[in-house]
Amino acid sequence: MPTAVAAARSILTRLHEVMASRAHAQGKLNRVVDVIAEEMNSEVCSIYLLREGMLELFATHGLSQKAVHVTRMDIGEGLVGTIAQNIDTLNLAEATAHPDFSYRPETGEEKFHSFAGVPIVRRQRAVGVLAVQHAESRRYDEVEIEALQTVAMVLSELIANAELIDEDEALSAAMAATGPERLTGLALVKGLAEGHAVFHQPRITIEHVVAEDTEAERQRVYLAFDKMREQIDRMASQAEFGGGGEHDEVLETYRMFAYDEGWSRRINEAIDSGLTAEAAIERVQQRTRMRMRQIDDPLLADRMHDLEDLANRLLRTVSGQVGTAASQGLRSDAILIARNLGPAELLEYDRRRLKGVILEEGSLTAHVVIVARAMGIPVLGRVRGIRGKVREGDPMLLDGDQGTVTLRPIPAMVEAFDARFAKSRERQAGYAAMRDLDPVTKDGQRITLMINAGLRDDMGLLSLTGADGVGLFRTEFQFLVSATMPARERQTRLYRDVLDAAGDKPVVFRTVDIGGDKVLPYLRHNDGETEENPAMGWRALRVALEREGLMKAQARSLLEAAGGRTLNVMFPMVSEPWEFDAARDVFQKQVAWLKQQRKPLPEAIRYGAMLEVPALAEVLDVLAPKLSFLSIGTNDLTQFLFAADRSNPKLAERYDWLSPAILRFLARVVRDIGDHPVDLTVCGEMGGRRLEALALIGLGIGRLSITPAAVGPIKALVRSIDAAEIRDAMTGWLAEPRADMRATLLEWAAARKIEVD
């Protein structure tokens, strides 16, 4: 028996000749079936292609020629239809014994017992089937199946070049045939979205399968492997990927695969058989997929995803198509699919076309999720294995309210979804109509509702929502979306624009909070060191105080932009009062300098701190007299209180913002701020959720800065409650806390018909 390499090589050489010949497309197909039948010693070889939504016999060696262009079957019908539907190989010693067998008398196939067929795949969808049959009853061996699979790849190229089928039509038929599927995940940003699947890391379409020069292909693969290994090693040494936990495991697996000699050897063998580098990588991947499918082990399935990721990375490197989907541009309404994303990566997408995001990982307070929330883009996280189930371009319905996504929905599903979508828009319109109503509780307490923002575009949301101001302007977003450090002039321009857009309403500018999960490629540690725990590491004010140039430039920009108006400036991650003093000094020095230059100064400067590090709560009495305002950043605060990394998906649902520990902690901050003339605000994501906001108001917090999409729902909540009543209830619960405060609050709200979710 020939080796797989020799068998494939011999077939490929002959197919290459057929493809290069001047015969017309049908003539070429006829030659192909003859060559395969001869090379594989098989009595029958047939090619079926998708036409008008059906699989049509286009060429055959061994079956009746009368059946050509006559025998047709639906996707899912008979053995051929089953192969196309499942995009999977069938290898049967006795074809008639298979439950899907369907007999076609015009073909004269009754004399043949064994059957093997493989799908012909284009852009991840079956556009045809290649099958062989034998009179004797036998299973085909692996070498034969692999040879067929290789030929199917060549056929896919031939079909594309010869325009044998209407590719778009065939692809949509193949897509429709795969059927709908519903997956569940964790709703990270609520909302509904409809669009087509777009992979953040696009899949590569292989255009050339048969190699012209085997040695050149081998070199391309060597280089690609080198590059890929380099990338993986670099990732391992970078802080943003070395966050511990799941990332480390993934990375370790990546390295294992990237350096796996077996993998590179098999790719080389496939090149030896006459394939291009791209086709060889895909060929080996097909074989691995087939083997893995036979092993029913969820752990291995996970690893398979890693290998798919890596194979795709290798394909992108070898083909030179290295950009993400953002760099290629979105062509229609899109639902983005990724294992995980950074906030800057998300911001690269066209906001008009990006309708939703689905992540295999993700957690509620990861910055990418905060950014998506601010952009009003629903996000579903922790949808394991979605990248293996969805194909580029598949239509999808994302339901961020119920935490589900429907792939390839049938029309009835779309209809039902659209009806809900319309309802939700109606509700949004209802909130919009409340724009000019004040957030006042039934017993007359005016709650201050502000929005969190970070981009110039966000400012339009201020008047759209009728919010009282911007309670947190995350200035680092400008740094995240730039390839280099934004110059002072650019910063000034942004801050001035923001203040202009805000008009009379206040804006609280937070000085840059970088580090943690917000990594800037152009700002690294002096010593190039990476951090084990970046969230607790060199970030926010710690960076700013050490890199004084950065803070000085920002201070000057803010002071100049606010000339003649009030400047509210807030420092993130203050851990001890001296840090606040030092940061304020940087600003005051700039004030002195501007004064000297006779430049216009702000009318007033109000300094504030964020309470994110629990230690600061112990010294609030020292800090409070220095402050104009204090803003509680519950995203960071709670991760530190519970020692639970906010971006670790494994902990995404572990701790509750409504736990007695957090509520008591917050109650104590409210008490300690007490009579100090300090505005106390909560600006974490917690305040934008209704049940949590109810609890915060119950704790006596009267100022919330929240994601813009939440202003309507929270305003409606405020207007439906009695503040004194929830404060009383909260006092009782805090004295004797119940383990499940969420349930307690839900019950309380339900008894009063207050809508909270």
Q: Which of residues 593-632 bind ligand PEP (CB under 6 A)?
A: 612
Q: Which does 312 bind (CB under 5 to 8 A by kind): Mg ion, ligand PEP, none?
A: none
Nearer to Mg ion, 486 or 633 (CB): 633
Q: How far is CA 559 from the centre of its chain?
A: 37
Q: Among 393, 439, 608, 633, which residue interacts with ligand PEP (rule: CB under 6 A)?
A: 633
User: Shortest distance, CB of residue 373 to ligand PEP, whole angstroms?
Assistant: 11
Residue whose C-alpha is closest to residue 452's, from 707, 144, 183? 707
Q: Among 370, 374, 467, 756, which residue interacts with ligand PEP (rule: CB under 6 A)?
A: 370
Instruction: Return the residue matching tokens 């280099």.
Output: 484
Q: Among 122, 134, 408, 474, which residue interacts with ligand PEP (rule: CB under 6 A)?
A: 474
The span of 42-50, 85-93, 598-606, 634-642 binding ligand PEP (CB under 6 A) equals: 634-642
Q: Which does 577 bind (CB under 5 to 8 A by kind): Mg ion, ligand PEP, none?
A: none
Question: Phi and psi for 406 in degrees, rounded to 5?
Answer: -110, 125
CA–CA gap between residue 749 and residue 757 (Å, rounded): 10
286 binds ligand PEP (CB under 6 A): no
Q: Which does 698 bind (CB under 5 to 8 A by kind): ligand PEP, Mg ion, none?
A: none
Nearer to Mg ion, 514 or 749 (CB): 514
Q: Quick one: three-class SS letters along 61-127?
A: ECCCHHHCCCCEEECCCHHHHHHHHHCCCEEECCHHHCCCCCCCHHHCHHHCCEEEEEEEEECCEEE
183: tokens are 């997956």
Nearer to ligand PEP, 441 or 635 (CB): 635
635 binds ligand PEP (CB under 6 A): yes
Q: Which does 690 bind (CB under 5 to 8 A by kind): Mg ion, ligand PEP, none?
A: none
Nearer to ligand PEP, 10 or 575 (CB): 575
707 binds ligand PEP (CB under 6 A): no
Helical ranges in 548-659 per DSSP H: 548-561, 577-596, 614-617, 620-623, 634-641
Residue 406 vs residues 73, 180, 380: alpha-carbon distances, Å: 27, 7, 12
Q: Which helix (H) or strand (E) is 673 found in, with range?
A: helix 660-673
Nearer to ligand PEP, 361 or 636 (CB): 636
Cβ-in-10-Å burial (0-12, 13-18, 19+) of 445 comes to middle
343 binds Mg ion (CB under 5 A): no
CA–CA gap between residue 546 and residue 589 (Å, rounded): 16
683 binds ligand PEP (CB under 6 A): yes
Contacts of 20 (CB under 8 A, 6+ apart): none
191 binds Mg ion (CB under 5 A): no
End-to-end CA, the chain: 67
Residue 169 vs residues 50, 166, 330: alpha-carbon distances, Å: 9, 5, 21
What is the contact mask toward Mg ion in residues 606 to 625, using x (rule: CB under 5 A)? Answer: ------x-------------
633 binds Mg ion (CB under 5 A): yes
648 binds ligand PEP (CB under 6 A): no
647 binds ligand PEP (CB under 6 A): no
CA–CA gap between residue 131 and residue 140 (Å, rounded): 12
517 binds Mg ion (CB under 5 A): no
Question: Phi and psi for 308 in degrees, rounded to 5?
Answer: -60, -45
CA–CA gap between residue 105 and residue 102 (Å, rounded): 10
User: Shortest distance, CB of residue 579 to ligand PEP, whole angstroms?
Assistant: 16
Name the residue number minimizing CB distance to ligand PEP: 633
645 binds ligand PEP (CB under 6 A): no
Positions touching ligand PEP (CB under 6 A) are 370, 472, 474, 513, 612, 633-636, 683-684
Positions touching Mg ion (CB under 5 A) are 612, 633, 636
